[in-house]
Amino acid sequence: MNEPWRAYLTGLDPAIECRPSANAVQIAVAEVRLAVTFPGELKDLLAATNGVADQYGCHLVWPIERIEEDNLQMQGDLEYHRLYMPFDCLLFFSDAGNGDQFAYSICAGVIRRTDIFVWDHEDDSRTWVAPDLRIFLSWWTSGRIAV
């Protein structure tokens, strides 16, 4: 399963950096700590490459460690609770480099659909941007998604 993701990513942009894979234990630990089962497409991507970066080193998909750390921080930050709607309904996995972040929607601890949303840090909106991770990466790298 790892090769199709790597081939897909380098097909989008040969300069994309694929890192060594995350292992099943790392993914399972993050799922337990975040109390959510990751969608299969995200697990498969992380098993192929633990994070995806563009030619400038900007992450298109965060490594599993950052997914875990950033989500725990966003959910537990008291200042965020005062400023924004709750984040326990989102699983963040990437950012736009401007404060906005990309996420899956969580409902009762489950990600039921592969749709990707962008959270706008300025107005706290959550807007649909892609139907799944592959299309998100295609649209994000091609400039079709602009935030």
pLDDT digits (tens, 9 = 90+) for 80-115: 878 888 888 999 999 999 999 999 999 888 899 999
**Does the residue 116 lie in any domain?**
yes
**Does the residue 112 lie in any domain?**
yes
**Does the residue 70 lie in any domain?**
yes
Res 78: pLDDT: 75
Please say if the pLDDT value at position 2 is more than 70. no
Token look-up 């089962």 returns: 37
List pLDDT tens digits, range 11-33: 999 999 999 999 999 999 999 99
**Does the residue 58 lie in any domain?**
yes
Please say if the pLDDT value at position 1 is more than 60. no
Res 79: pLDDT: 82
Q: With pLDDT > 90 as the criterion, what percentage of the chain qualifies?
A: 80
User: What's the number of domains the chain is made of?
Assistant: 1
- Region 29-57 average pLDDT: 95
Domain with 91 in it: 2-141
Residues pairing with 107 in the sheet: 110
SS3 call for 8: helix
**Does the residue 146 lie in any domain?**
no
Instruction: Measure the CA–CA gap between 76 and 133, rounded to whole angstroms.
Output: 26
**Does the residue 107 lie in any domain?**
yes
- Region 29-48 average pLDDT: 96
In the structure encoding, which two tokens stand for residue 19, read together?
């890192």
The CATH number covering residue 51 comes to 3.40.1580.10
